[in-house]
Structures are given as C-alpha cells and as structure tokens.
C-alpha cells in the first residue's frame, strides 16, 4: 500500500456527490497496490470504510495494452448480478458514476479476507477452498445461463477480446507459428460461444478467502460468453503455482480436481462434458499465454521451469485432451 499518493479531484468529487461522506468528517484516502488495470483506493469515511475503483485506459504492464474504460461499468453490473444471487461471494456494490468510470464497493479487511494467491504461493493449499471456488463459479454460471436480458446487457465481446483473447491467445499465436492455427481457432470458438455470464479473470489474485467463503473481485472482463473460459482460467493458475511450490504438488492436484468436480456438479445449462471439453482445449493455450503472452506470470522466472510449461502446453495444443482430469494426471 502507498500512503503518499493523493487522490485527484474526480475521485474526491465522486465520493462527495454520491453522499458517502458526512458533514465535518474528512475522508482519509489510501491507494491500494497490486492492480495493473485500475486505480484502487481505500477510503476511511469515519463510520465505515469503502473501496473506490477507476479503470485505466492503459494497463500497467510491459507490453502496450490499451483497454476500454467502459469495462468499469460492466464490472459494476457483474457485481450487482452476483450480489443478488451469491451475496457472500462478492463485495457489496455501493455507488457508481458510469461516465467517470468509477464505482464504490465495500472494503473487506485483509486480516479476515486473505488473498488466495498469497496463500497458495506460501504453500497454504486448502483443497476445501478450491472446491468452494468451483461451486460458486458454477452457481454464477448456472444462474445466468441462457438469459437473453443478460446476453444483451453484457454484449461485451470487444472488451473481452481486448482484455483476454488478444493479449493471451492471439499474441501467443504470433510467437508460436507451429500452433498458431490451433490458438486462433480457439479464439474463434470462445468468441462464438454465448451461454452464461463470464467473469473473465478468475485468478487466485482476485479471490479472497473470506469467513463465509470465497469472494470474487475484479470482473472487468465480464462478458456473456463461454463459461468454460472461467473454469480453464482458474485451473490454469493452480497448475502454474504448483511450479513454484513443488513440495505441495499433491495438494495442488487435489485442489485442481476438487475445483473441477464442484464446478461440473453445477452444470445444467448444457452437457457437462461439453464444458469440460472446451475448458480442456483452452487450458494449454492459457498456460502458454501466461509464459509468453502479454501478461506473463511474475513468479515463474527460471527458464527451465518456463520451458517445462511451454513443452507441456504446446504438446497439448497439438494433441488436445478431452478431459481436464487427464491434463491434471499428466501434469502432476
């Protein structure tokens, strides 16, 4: 966290106009670190603490990565939907300014809501938490499946392409001619599948281990599309984090299977094996993307480890598996 930064006038004005401050009480602002796509602030209002988030037009990564700020409004809409159906699994939405690309939500104390990524990298691999993540994710997809109103509200394929498909799969295809056609076909398949409301960034860095279950954050990529993307995206992170905590490989493998099974148990909008088949094709593409795409994971730095991931991913892209359990067995 940074205490030195000062919020600009737009942020202060938002809090005042929304009536979130009390007369005579000076709001105390603290910038939160960790995000690459937004300004995020903790705001102490005296009687309560909130979090204010504003989307950035240029993401804070090494590669050039522009993204539409309209994603802030879709994240807000995603939070509203989830707060209706799974209120324990999302911060409570408080206020929004769609034109300024701003919203306020409840602030969750880190002492009670540790970040799942930090736990995993520290070797704290809770299989039960992984199962709970799969259950919540499946429930969100099940509640939103085949909803024409949501399909219209989250018709955001341009955002999703800019934030996910292009920087991950398209950019990686340009670096790997031998699997380029397969990766671009994966892009077309994913973009053309519209079954449920997708979060788009179900990563352990965006999941808090809350006292009432996992809390999902940062739905900037929200899109009415292929739910298999969310499943593959999260499982991908369990594979990658096992690389740097090899002593917990058995627990990572069990977490992979627990998350997958609890998710598939919720699938009723289409045959579960179809979701699994698409996720199994997506997973190796995402593995390769997190090594050589526009947003590589920062915690795998050893070239031998990177090559291990590359070889495994390229092999699966060339010869796809139909089952996630097969990928889990072969990796672990």
| Structure tokens, 207 | 């999941």
CB 243 within 8 A of CB 232: no
In terms of C-beta distances under 8 Å and separation of at least 24 residues, what long-range contacts does 146-150 make, across chains too?
146/195, 146/196, 146/269, 147/197, 147/224, 150/81, 150/197, 150/224
Q: What angle do CA 231, 95, 218 make, to 5 degrees?
A: 20
What pLDDT score was predicted for residue 7? Answer: 83
324-331 and 227-244 are packed helices; what angle lies between their axes, rounded to 10 degrees? 10
What pLDDT score was predicted for residue 227? Answer: 98
User: Using CA atoms, how far apart are residues 158 and 153, in angstroms rounded to an integer?
Assistant: 13
User: Using CA atoms, how far apart are residues 204 and 124, in angstroms rounded to an integer?
Assistant: 12
Cβ within 8 Å of residue 38, ≥6 positions away: 53, 54, 55, 56, 72, 218, 220
For the beta carbon of residue 154, count every other beta carbon within 10 angstroms. Answer: 24
What pLDDT score was predicted for residue 59? Answer: 52
What pLDDT score was predicted for residue 72? Answer: 86
- The tens place of each residue's pLDDT in the chain, 332 residues long, gives 444 467 888 899 899 999 998 887 888 999 887 555 678 899 999 889 999 998 876 555 444 445 566 778 899 999 999 999 999 999 999 999 988 888 999 999 999 999 999 999 999 999 999 999 999 999 999 999 999 999 999 999 998 998 899 999 999 999 999 999 999 999 999 999 999 999 999 999 999 999 999 999 999 899 999 999 999 999 999 999 999 999 999 999 999 999 999 999 999 999 999 999 999 999 999 999 999 999 999 999 999 999 999 999 999 999 999 999 999 999 99
Pick the CATH number of 116-331 from 3.50.30.40, 3.30.70.260, 3.60.15.10, 3.90.1200.10: 3.90.1200.10
What pLDDT score was predicted for residue 35? Answer: 59
Domain boundaries, the chain: 9-106, 116-331
Backbone Cα Rg of the chain = 20
Buried b (16+ CB within 10 A) or exposed e, 123-136: eebebebbbbbbbb
Same fold, 9-106 and 116-331: no
* Cα atoms in the 13 Å half-sphere on the side-chain side of 173: 15
CATH topology of domain 9-106: Phosphorylase Kinase; domain 1 (3.30.200)
């Amino acid at each position: 966290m940074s205490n030195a930064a000062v919020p600009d006038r737009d942020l202060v004005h938002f809090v005042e106009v929304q009536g979130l401050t009390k007369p005579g009480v000076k709001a105390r602002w603290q910038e939160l670190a960790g995000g690459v796509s937004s300004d995020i602030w903790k705001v102490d209002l005296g009687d309560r603490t909130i979090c204010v988030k504003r989307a950035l037009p240029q993401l804070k990564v090494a590669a050039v990565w522009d993204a539409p700020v309209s994603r802030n409004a879709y994240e807000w809409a995603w939070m509203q939907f989830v707060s209706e159906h799974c209120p324990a699994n999302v911060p409570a939405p408080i206020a929004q300014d769609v034109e300024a690309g701003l919203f306020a939500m409840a602030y969750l104390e880190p002492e009670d809501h540790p970040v799942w990524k930090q736990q995993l990298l520290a070797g704290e691999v809770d299989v039960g938490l992984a199962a709970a993540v799969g259950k919540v994710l499946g429930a969100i997809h099940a509640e939103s499946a085949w909803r024409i109103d949501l399909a219209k509200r989250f018709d955001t394929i341009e955002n999703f392409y800019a934030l996910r498909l292009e920087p991950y799969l398209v950019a990686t295809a340009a670096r790997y001619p031998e699997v380029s056609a397969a990766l671009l076909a994966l892009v077309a398949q994913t973009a053309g599948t519209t079954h449920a409301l997708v979060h788009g960034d179900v990563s352990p860095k965006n999941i808090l281990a809350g006292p009432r279950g996992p809390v999902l954050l940062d739905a900037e990529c929200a899109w009415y599309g292929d739910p298999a993307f969310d499943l593959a995206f999260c499982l991908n992170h369990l594979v990658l984090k096992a690389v740097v905590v090899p002593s917990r490989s058995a627990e990572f493998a069990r977490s992979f299977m627990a998350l997958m099974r609890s998710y598939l148990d919720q699938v009723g909008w289409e045959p579960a094996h179809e979701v699994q088949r698409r996720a199994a094709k997506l997973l190796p593409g995402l593995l390769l993307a997190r090594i050589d795409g526009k947003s590589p994971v920062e915690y795998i730095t050893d070239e031998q480890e990177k090559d291990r991931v590359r070889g495994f991913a390229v092999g699966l892209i060339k010869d796809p598996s139909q089952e996630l359990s097969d990928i889990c067995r072969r990796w672990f």
